[in-house]
Chain A
Amino acid sequence: MSETVIETRRLSKEYIRDEFHITALQDVDLEVKRGEFVALMGPSGSGKSTLLHLIAAMDVPTSGEIKVLGQDLRKLSDRAIARWRNENVGFVFQSFNLIPVLTALENVELPLKLTPLKKQERIDHAVTALKLVGLGDRLGHYPRQLSGGQEQRVAIARAIVTDPALILADEPTGNLDAASAEDILHLLARLNQEFGKTVVMVTHDPHAARFASVVHHLEKGRLLPMNGNP
């Protein structure tokens, strides 16, 4: 039986905006096995991104339990969580979020600066990651010198450069044209199939969800019962 890498039990998240209580997630029970490519689908405001943030320990739940890669995230200190995230999670944003003053190579090198690797080792790793996403010839380019699809590839290279077990992608194709989106989805699928990465992708695009092996639907903060593969 495959190892469970993400497990949530009655996971809930509430926000307080001014005097209003907003329930972003309610009693979510989710299980993701190692090597799965999971798509989280749902309309805007359904809690997809909130769930992704909780899995990445970028936010804390209001109640419930969450274990990622066997780690109870609620028991870790801020410093330990940062280290855990650096080592185990690669995050891909919808809007790429590259640092504009750094080149592609420097952007990809950023997470490695938190590791004990030496400068040359960091560069070697970053070059390898960029070659893997097909940007070996764009090392010295700044984000403004790249197309949207290329920027997202750099962001994916940055997400995988520390060789994390888990890749979390928040609407990775949301800002891309159809052709670039297709490339990115193929790339994520390749990382899942060839390199065994567990991928959790938030999307509201049914076409994108077809690349996933498992699809979960959220609505109004609740995880709907699974109805099989798309």
Chain B
Amino acid sequence: MLRHLPLVLKNAWRNRRRTVLTILSMGVSLMILGLMMAIYHAFYFTNTPPEQDLRLVTRNKVSLALPMPQFYGDRIRQIPGVREVEAEQWFGGVYIDNRPEHLFARLAVEPDKFFTIYPDVNIPDEQKKAFQQERSACIAGRELAQKQHWNLGDRITIEGDIFPVNLEFTLRGIFDAKDAFMNRSLYFNREYLEQSLPQARRGLVGTFTILANSPDNVPRIERAVDSQFQNSPIQTKTETQSAFGLSFLAFLGNVKLILLSVCGAVTFTILLVSANTIAMSVRERVHEVGVLKTLGYTSEAILGIILGEAVAISLVGAMLGLLMAQLMSAVVRAMPTFNDQLETLTIQPSVAVLCLGVAAMIGLASAFVPAYHASRTPIVEALRSTE
């Protein structure tokens, strides 16, 4: 087949305008397909960092918006394999106003446990101590601090919306974390929030973050926590931190189905476009098929040449599409996102290979019927063809 490659390539380039348009349409479709696959890969196949493998998150089984009793933390701590448990609370609130540049996560945490749970948070010792010792202290990720032009000692006021209190903090630490979400978040002392709330709203927790002492214990702890509260009025749902992160996607609907549907629709559409183009191209060259057969080419060789031509066009389109998808990934990475995986979105080699495979299959599938018919056309009939 390789010795026919020059003929395959020259045939593919025969009608330049049509080939360029086909490559472009294939490229745009493969860009969408590649991007969707990259997002799918990022969401569902990205390896979690080792420290994240040890962390689990427990929340109210009914909804993330509903709290759990604080004492659940003590019960969870008694489960074998649990090294530490920390209560966390999403505070929400408004910083200055609701403009996008002032939107960031504000979380109430337990400073004495926070750095055990998140050992990957890098902060100077004196800042860590200040955060742990001062009730109204807060710390911020470096990206957030830089964006808001905060310096140590700055006073930050958050107006409550979920909670009926306004909190005023002093920035005592700026940290670096591997987790992009943490780098864009503000953390403060949960005790400060508790004491600011009316009595009736105290003692409730949004989530518990659990640190297991070994990755092997994680599945068991996951089951043990939920079974512990199975007969309680407030049941829990425990999952790994990465699974918890993905659960936010559920707010958007069935993301898996959406992504796969888009991929399917794109593939089907480009299959039709490609089939139409190849059919047109083959129809114009039935006469040449007769000539090649006269020279001794078999039907199989001719079938291979036409299929090779379709696959070559598809692969060039796919490569262009992957290049565009990589550029789009860079755009997505630069945009503010709600998901850590999108922060590092890129076209993985496995995704690229899959896209090229899909493109090759599209080429084969779209060309097979016209190529088969052309290759089987009797010589005399083919030579008579004048289209």
Contact = CB atoms under 8 A, between A and B. Distances in A.
B180 to A, nearest CB: 52
A58 B294 contact: yes
A33 to B, nearest CB: 24
Nearest to A115: B296
Interface stretch (B5-13, B46-54, B229-237): B5-13
Contact of B291 (A53, A78, A99, A119): A99
Interface stretch (A39-47, A106-114, A129-137): A106-114
B13 A111 contact: no
B295 A158 contact: yes
A118 to B, nearest CB: 10
B156 to A, nearest CB: 70
B15 to A, nearest CB: 10
A58 B10 contact: no
B4 A113 contact: yes
A101 B4 contact: no
Given A101-B10, A101-B11, A101-B14, A111 B380 contact: no
A82 interface: yes
A51 B71 CA distance: 99
A53 B384 CA distance: 12
Interface stretch (B132-140, B216-224, B297-305): B297-305
Contacts of A100: 14
B292 interface: yes
A111 B298 contact: no
B288 interface: yes
Interface in B291-324: 291-301
A7 interface: no
Contact of A86 (B296, B300, B380): B296
Nearest to A86: B296
B4 A85 contact: no
Contacts of A87: 296
Nearest to A77: B298
A72 interface: no
Interface in B367-387: 378-380, 383
Interface range for A? 20 to 34
Interface in A53-67: 53, 56, 58-59
B201 interface: no
A68 to B, nearest CB: 14
Interface range for B? 20 to 34
Given A59-B379, A85-B296, A87-B296, A97 B291 contact: yes
B293 A58 contact: yes
A87 to B, nearest CB: 7
Contacts of A93: 291, 294, 383
A58 B301 CA distance: 17
A10 B378 CA distance: 23
B7 A102 contact: yes
Contacts of A85: 294-296
A91 B294 contact: yes
B178 interface: no
Nearest to B12: A101
A58 B295 CA distance: 10
A106 B298 contact: no
Contacts, number: 64
Given A82-B296, A91-B294, A59 B380 contact: yes
Nearest to B292: A110
A83 interface: yes
Interface in A143-197: 158
Contacts of B299: 78
B149 interface: no
A75 interface: no
Nearest to B295: A111
Contacts of A83: 296, 298
B99 interface: no
B291 A114 contact: no
A56 to B, nearest CB: 7
Contacts of B300: 79
Interface string B88-114: 000000000000000000000000000
B3 interface: yes
| A100, A113, A119, A158 pick with most chain B CB within 10 angstroms | A113
Nearest to B13: A101
Contacts of A106: 6-7
Contacts of B298: 78-79, 82-83
Interface of A: 53, 56, 58-59, 78-79, 82-83, 85-87, 91, 93, 97, 99-102, 106, 110-111, 113-114, 119, 158
Interface of B: 3-4, 6-7, 10-11, 13-14, 287-288, 291-301, 378-380, 383
> Which are the 7 A-B pairs with shortest beta-carbon distances?
A86-B296, A101-B10, A58-B379, A97-B291, A82-B298, A111-B295, A59-B380
Given A58-B379, A86-B295, A97-B288, 20 more contacts: A56-B294, A59-B378, A79-B300, A82-B293, A82-B297, A85-B295, A85-B296, A87-B296, A93-B294, A99-B288, A100-B14, A101-B7, A101-B10, A101-B14, A102-B6, A102-B7, A106-B6, A110-B292, A111-B296, A113-B3
